[in-house]
Amino acid sequence: MEKFEWMKRYIQAADGTAEKGIAEDKLTELGIIPAQPIVDDSNWDDFWNQFKR
């Protein structure tokens, strides 16, 4: 039931809000959604090159 409640919070929260971020973190922790990649100076080019055709 906990997973359902967090999914509901995530869906209902407005983009860019703390509530959306907290729900996303919890869903990642529960293994429901994958973690977002961290992009920094060491992998910046690799990240953007994945979108080239």
Q: Are 47 and 37 in contact (CB under 8 A)?
A: yes
pLDDT per position as a tens digit, 3-44: 999 999 999 999 999 999 999 999 999 999 998 878 888 888
Q: Which domain holds residue 22?
A: 2-49
Give the residue from 18, 39, 17, 20 showing the smallest Cα distance to 6: 20
Number of H helices, E strands in the chain: 3, 0
- Would you state the structure tokens that stand for residue 8, as one six-digit string? 């509901």
DSSP three-state, residue 4: helix
| Total count of domains within the chain | 1
pLDDT at 40: 82
